[in-house]
């Protein structure tokens, strides 16, 4: 489905089957000379067909179209190499672009999951069912790298890049100050809570995320255009809810531990998750992966707050209340 958001700005709804996110919002800005597509959908046929249909509905000339990807996740970046033409610029966060480096691979992440209690026999399956592994762009796109403060101008839209690490380390929102628009990517969603995970203890993803929420809190915004599902107007109200949510989740981690020493996988197994499974054993392995990553992000945050202690030195890292 393709609909108009405002003069010169459209949204193509791209279905994401089997994902709790349900659909991706691909935003299209059209002008007399260049156009801009913000995010693209997974590199899989159902998404490609939806994008092709939207492009036809809008009569969009891809040879005059550039692309901006809010962050490296495959539901946003997946189709960019198939849609971009030789004359397209692909704007991409300098930090997130590291995942396309030739020496970047999944092994350190798998090892890290293992030392956090993720069972070895489930690791290979977790990788093979991970959407980032299955539906990423083919080949390495030729990026135009952007940073904090970069400006992209399309017609009368003037988009300022705001580095908002947390959901990914290089996540970027686009802000049009005059139009009071915030393209929030997966930094701020309305219907669901953005997934915050950590796959290295050097990174305190949840603290980064909370700081990035503060960073956009005082912007003058009339409409927030998130990467998934519903648009909304009350930016401050939503940020307050998200902060409260993570404080509650951090408290839940402590309640689950209840004085015990446990690893992150065990803690994730006892937390509550919004999924149609009663028992942890029945969770699809990809969901166990996301849950464990989220538990680690909260544990790392609690550690930095001095509320839990990380015990290293044996094969599996454990946590205890500080």
The residues that touch Zn ion, with contacts defined as CB under 5 A, are 73, 186
Decide whether 73 or 298 has the Cβ nearer to Zn ion: 73
Selection from 305, 217, 203, 190 nearest residue 253 by Cα: 305
**Rounded least distance, CB 1 to Zn ion, Å:** 21
Alpha-carbon distance of 296 to 28, in angstroms, equals: 36
Alpha-carbon distance of 173 to 62, in angstroms, equals: 23
Decide whether 73 or 300 has the Cβ nearer to Zn ion: 73
Decide whether 169 or 204 has the Cβ nearer to Zn ion: 169
Half-sphere exposure of 286 (CA within 13 A, CB side): 12
Q: What is the DSSP letter of 20?
A: T
Selection from 66, 62, 61, 67 nearest residue 41 by Cα: 67
**Rounded least distance, CB 252 to Zn ion, Å:** 23
Decide whether 23 or 186 has the Cβ nearer to Zn ion: 186
Alpha-carbon distance of 309 to 311, in angstroms, equals: 6
> What are residue 14's phi and psi, to 5 degrees?
-110, 120
CA angle 181, 164, 255 (to 5 degrees): 115
Decide whether 73 or 246 has the Cβ nearer to Zn ion: 73
**Rounded least distance, CB 315 to Zn ion, Å:** 31
Decide whether 186 or 294 has the Cβ nearer to Zn ion: 186
For 231, the token pair is 């648009």
Asked if residues 18 and 46 have their Cβ atoms less than 8 Å apart, the reply is: no
**Rounded least distance, CB 167 to Zn ion, Å:** 6
**Rounded least distance, CB 186 to Zn ion, Å:** 4
Q: Report the residue number whose CB is nearest to Zn ion.
A: 73
> How would you classify the pairing of strands 172-176 and 143-146?
unpaired
């Amino acid at each position: 489905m393709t609909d108009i958001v405002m003069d010169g700005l459209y949204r193509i709804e791209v279905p994401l089957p089997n994902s709790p996110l349900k659909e991706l919002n691909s935003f299209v800005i059209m002008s007399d000379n260049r156009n801009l597509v913000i995010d693209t959908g997974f590199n899989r046929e159902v998404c490609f067909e939806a994008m092709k249909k939207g492009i036809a509905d809008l009569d969009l000339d891809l040879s005059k179209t550039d692309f901006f990807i809010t962050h490296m996740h495959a539901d946003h970046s997946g189709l960019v190499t198939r849609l971009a033409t030789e004359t397209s610029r692909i704007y991409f966060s300098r930090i997130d672009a590291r995942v396309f480096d030739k020496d970047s691979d999944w092994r350190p992440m798998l090892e890290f999951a293992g030392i956090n209690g993720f069972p070895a026999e489930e690791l290979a399956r977790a990788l093979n069912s991970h959407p980032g592994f299955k539906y990423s762009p083919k080949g390495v796109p030729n990026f135009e790298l952007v940073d904090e403060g970069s400006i992209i101008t399309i017609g009368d839209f003037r988009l300022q890049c705001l580095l908002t690490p947390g959901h990914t380390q290089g996540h970027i929102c686009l802000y049009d100050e005059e139009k009071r628009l915030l393209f929030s990517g997966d930094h701020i969603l309305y219907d669901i809570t953005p997934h915050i995970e950590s796959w290295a203890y050097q990174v305190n993803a949840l603290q980064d995320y909370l700081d990035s929420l503060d960073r956009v809190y005082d912007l003058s915004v009339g409409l927030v255009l998130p990467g998934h599902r519903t648009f909304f107007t009350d930016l401050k109200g939503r940020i307050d809810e998200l902060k409260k949510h993570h404080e509650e989740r951090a408290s839940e981690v402590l309640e689950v531990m209840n004085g015990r020493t446990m690893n992150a996988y065990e803690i994730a197994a006892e937390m509550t998750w919004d999924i149609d499974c009663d028992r942890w054993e029945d969770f699809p392995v990809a969901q166990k992966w996301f849950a464990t990553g989220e538990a680690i992000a909260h544990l790392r945050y609690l550690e930095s707050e001095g509320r839990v202690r990380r015990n290293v030195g044996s094969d599996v890292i454990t946590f205890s209340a500080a």
